[in-house]
Structure 1
C-alpha cells in the first residue's frame, strides 16, 4: 500500500494530525532532496561518535566524569548508540540495507535522531558550563559531537523519504518476530536497570532525552508500527518476555535496597492504576477519589496485622487478609457507587472527590475520642511487622545464585504476583462481553442503553471491581511501608493515578505501566528540581493533550477517537482487521 506523500515525514498519511503544518516547513528547508544530504549524514555520524572518544569536560566531577580521552562515560555512550542507530537508518536509505528503506521512513528517523542529538548535546554542554564555571571548561570532544549532531540534523532535514510500502503489511517469519521481541525485552531490562542506577539528576535527564529521541525516531520510521503488529501476533511470547524481564530485574541491581524500594513503589502505583484503568479507561467514569480504595485495603492489612498498635484481635493468615481487604474495598465501592453512579461527568467527579476526602478524615477520627478506636486516628498504625510466608521472612535478605536480595526485593516479587493477577483480570474483562459493554458506555451511554446494555449494573461492577483490585494492592502496601496513616491518601495521589492512565494510554495495560513508571520514577530521580516538579508535570500533561491526547501507548480504538478526521488511519486499520479475519477464516 502506497502512502499518499512518500517524500514527507512518516506521519503523513499515518495518523499525525499536524502534518499540514510540518510538511511545508520541510519542503522549504535549503537543499531539500540534495544529493549531498546522505554523505553529510555519514560525516555527522562520524563526528558525533568520534567526539565521544575525546574529553568533553575539563573537570572530572560533571556528568559522571567526562574528562578522560578514549574512555567514554555513560552520557557519551548514549550518543554512540544514537549515532549507530542513525547510521543504520542512513544505510537503509541508501546502501546495503536499502531494502528496509522501502518499508521504513529512514529520512524521518534520521531527522528525529539528529534533532534529538542537537538538543542532547546543547543540554550536556550547558550543564558542563554551568557546573564547571563557563564554556571555557568544555573540552573539544563536546564541540566535535555538537557539530556532528548539527550535520546529522541537517542531513535528516534534507533527505527525502523513499518509503513506498506500509510496515503494517510486512510479511516476516515467526523466528524473526520472536527474536525482535526478545531483543526488545532485553533493551527494556537493560534500560530500566541503567536508569535506576543513575545517581546524578542531570545525567538522568540526558538519558531521558536519549530515550525520547530514539523512541520518536523509531515511531516516525514505522518500526513501532511493525512491533505493534508482531506483538499482537505473538502475544503469549510478549507476555512471557515481559514477565521474565520483570522477574530478572532485581538480579540486575546488585542488592541495592534504594533502587528496589523505588521499583516496589512503582509496582504498587502501577497495580493501583490498573484497577483505576477499569473505571476510567474502559467504563469512562471519572473517579477522583480512587486512592481511598487503596487506603481501605492498607488499613485492613494494618489492623489485622501483628502490630502492637493494631486494634483488632483477629490475626488471620495474610492470604485471608488480602481477600478481606479486597472485599472491604469493593463494598466501599458499592456503597459509594450505588447512589452516585446515576450521575456522570463533572457531578460524578465531585462526588468521588468528596468520598476520597471523607475517607481520609474518617480514618483520622476513628481514634477512640471522636469515634470508635479502630485506626488510632492521625497517628495511624505503625510498627507493622514484615510478612512471613511458611517460614520465608520478607524482612530478611536472601541469597539467590550468589546475588543478595534484600527486603524490598522480597516485596517486589510478591507485588509482581499481585500485578500479574490484576493484569490477567483486566485483560480478561477487557476482551469479554462485559468489557465491550464498558467501552460502549464510555463512547455513548445513551446509545448503549438503547441497545440493551445494563448501563447502571456495568458501571457499578466497574466501580466495585476496580476497588477490589486496589484493596489487594493496599494490603501489601501496609506491610511494605511498615505504617499506615491518613495523610498517605490525599487527593494529590488520586490525581497522580489518573494522570498515569491519561499519560500512558487509557484502556491499555502497557500504557498504564509506562505512565505509572514515569510518574513514580521521575520525582525520585529529579529531586534537585523538587520545587518545580508540579509545574513541569503540568506542562508535560498540557503538551500530551495537545500533541498526543491518546497517550504514549494507545490502542487503535482510542487513537481513532482522537483522530476521527484521519481517514487514512481508519482505512489502514480496517484493512489489517480484514486480513486478520480472512486469516482466521
Structure 2
C-alpha cells in the first residue's frame, strides 16, 4: 500500500497499488454483484424483520444495499465521463465513489451481523447474504485503489488536474471553496427552466428521503437508513453537487423559498395516520427552540445550560390561560392572546434572569443558567398549595389543555379542505410550521442586522468589542431576552400538542427531548450560528431516540461518543457557518491558498 498527496491540502492518503482501469473494474464488478445479491434470499426465516427470504424481489434492508450499489455504479460512470452522467461528479474525484462503497458496505454488513445476532449465528445466512458481504467488500477494495482525482480525457496526467487551471484567480477560489475541498471546473450553463427543475427535484427527493426515514417500521431498517444516508450525503458533498445546488438556490432565491415551503406543507399529505406527523410536530418544536438557543449560543457566544426552562415558562403560561379544567387561574384566552402571554412571560423571565447574571462569563454564566433551569423545575413542582402557593398543581402538572380553536377552526378535529384531509396533528403541524418560519425570519434578520454583527463581535472577543464601543452587557441581555421569547413562543404550541405539562418535561438531561442538554447538542451538532444547522441537529437528536428504542438507556453515552467524534473530525458542525469553518481549519485553508498560488504561478 502506497501513500499519495492530495493536490490541494497536501494530506497523504493510503492507496492500494493497482492500475486505475483495474480498480474501476473491480469496483464496478463488486457493485454489480452486490446489486444482484439483493434478488437472492439472505436468510431462511421470516423471523428477521423485512422478510429477506424471497428470491427475485428485494425487501427491507436489501433495498438499501440495492440503492447503494446503484448509486455507486452511477457515480463510477460519472467519474469515467459517461455522457449524461458527468453532472453527478463535477469535482472529477473518486472520493464520492469511495464514500458510496463504504456506505453500501456498512449497511450490508450491519444487516448480516444483525441477522446472525438475532437468529443465533452465521448459519442462518443464505448464499445471497454471503455474496452481498463479499461483493461490498470487493467494491470497497476497488474504490480504495482508485486515484484521488481523475480527469477522463487525461487519465493519470497530473498537469490536467492542477487546481489552479480551474479558476482564474486565487481570491475567487478561496471565496468558493471550503477548507480541504478541491476547486470545481466552471459549470456548464443550464437553461433557466432546467435550473428551476433541478431545484424542484432536489426538494422532492429530500421530501421522499425524509418520509422514508420517518416511516421505517423497525429499528434495524432505520439504522441501515442512517448509515447509507450519512455516507451518501458525504459523497454528494465531496462530488461538488451540494455546492452547485447552493449556487442555483442563491440565483433563484424566490423559487427556492417557494419550493421549500411547498415541500414542507406537502409533508402531511404523504401520511395516512397521525403517528409520524406527531413526530414531525415535535421535531419542529424542538427545532424552533434550538434556533432560539442558537441566538444565545451561536451568535452571542453565551453558554446557557438552563434554556429549556424558558420553554417551560411559555408552556405553563399557555396552559394556565387556555381554559384547562385543571388551571388554577380559570382563564380562557383566545389562542393569539395565549401565544403573546406565553412569549411575554418568557421575555420577562429572560430579562429578570439575564440582568443580574450576564456580567458573568464562561463557566460562571453556565453554572448560573444551569441553576436557573433547576430552580424552575423545582418551583413548578412545589406550587401545589402545600409546599407553596396554588398555581401549577405541583408534580401533577396541568392536564386537559383544550385543543386550539382559531377563527372557528378546531385543531382537534379532522377537516377536509379542497379534497385534502387534514388530521388533528396535521393541523398542529401546519401551525407549528408557520411558527418555525416566523422564527427563521427573526433569526435571519437579527443575524444580518447591526445588533447581530455586534453579537458576533462579542462572541469572538468581548474585550475587543467593548474597546470598539460596543455595550456588551446590553447586547447580551437583548440576545438572552430574544432567545427566551422564541422558546416561550414554541412552548405555547407544545402545551396544546401534548395536552398536558408536567415539571419532568423541563430538565437539564432526560430520556425525552427537548431538554437543555439535547438543545445544546443540537446546536453544536448542526452548526452554531446557522439556520439549517440547528434544524438538522434537532431533527437527528429527536428522530434517532424515537426510532431506536433500544437507545433509551444509553442515550447520554451514545450522544457523548457522537460529540467526541464530532469535535475530533468536524468541530464546526454538520452545516457550519463560513466564519467558524475557516477558524477551525486555518492550517488547511493556508495550505490550500499556498498550493493554488503556486499553481497559478
For normalisation by structure 1, the TM-score amounts to 0.91
Choose from 41, 46, 67 the match for 1:55. 41
Tell me the CA shift for residue 198 of structure 1.
Answer: 0.9
Please state whether the residue corresponding to 2:390 is helix, strand or coil: coil
Choose from 519, 522, 525 the match for 1:503. 525
Choose from 468, 476, 480 the match for 2:485. 468
Tell me the CA shift for residue 562 of structure 1.
Answer: 1.1
Counterparts of 1:7 and 1:170 in 2: how far apart (Å)?
28
* Map of 1:550 onto structure 2: 572
CA deviation map 1:129-166 (0-9, x unaligned)? 22233222212222222222122212211111125442
Whether the 8 Å contact between 2:323 and 2:331 is mirrored in structure 1 is no
Counterparts of 1:54 and 1:402 in 2: how far apart (Å)?
43
CA deviation map 1:305-364 (0-9, x unaligned)? 111111113322110110111011011111111111111110110010011111111112
Deviates more, 1:196-205 or 1:217-226: 217-226
Runs (5+) with no aligned partner, structure 2: 152-160, 167-182, 510-514
Whether the 8 Å contact between 2:4 and 2:13 is mirrored in structure 1 is no
* Map of 1:109 onto structure 2: 96
Alpha-carbon RMSD across the aligned residues, in angstroms, is 2.3
Counterparts of 2:96 and 2:57 in 1: how far apart (Å)?
28
Q: 1:477 to 1:38 in 2, by over 3 A?
A: same
Whether the 8 Å contact between 2:68 and 2:103 is mirrored in structure 1 is no
Counterparts of 1:402 and 1:124 in 2: how far apart (Å)?
42
Counterparts of 1:136 and 1:48 in 2: how far apart (Å)?
20
Choose from 545, 549, 563 the match for 1:527. 549
CA deviation map 1:380-402 (0-9, x unaligned)? 11111111112211111223565
Tell me the CA shift for residue 170 of structure 1.
Answer: 3.2
Whether the 8 Å contact between 2:37 and 2:132 is mirrored in structure 1 is yes
* Map of 2:243 onto structure 1: 225
Please state whether the residue corresponding to 1:167 is helix, strand or coil: coil
* Map of 1:579 onto structure 2: none
- After TM superposition, list the pairs within 5 Å mapping 1:481-492 onto structure 2: 481-492=498-509
Whether the 8 Å contact between 1:89 and 1:106 is mirrored in structure 2 is no
Counterparts of 2:232 and 2:49 in 1: how far apart (Å)?
21
Runs (5+) with no aligned partner, structure 1: 1-5, 576-585
CA deviation map 1:182-241 (0-9, x unaligned)? 222112111111111112111110111110121121122222232333333333333222
Counterparts of 2:193 and 2:233 in 1: how far apart (Å)?
24
Counterparts of 1:117 and 1:140 in 2: how far apart (Å)?
18
Choose from 124, 132, 150 the match for 1:162. 150
* Map of 1:581 onto structure 2: none
Counterparts of 1:242 and 1:102 in 2: how far apart (Å)?
25
Deviates more, 1:51-60 or 1:351-360: 51-60
For normalisation by structure 2, the TM-score amounts to 0.88
Choose from 291, 309, 318 the match for 1:274. 291
* Map of 1:583 onto structure 2: none
* Map of 1:250 onto structure 2: 268
Tell me the CA shift for residue 177 of structure 1.
Answer: 3.4
* Map of 1:582 onto structure 2: none
Whether the 8 Å contact between 1:63 and 1:128 is mirrored in structure 2 is no
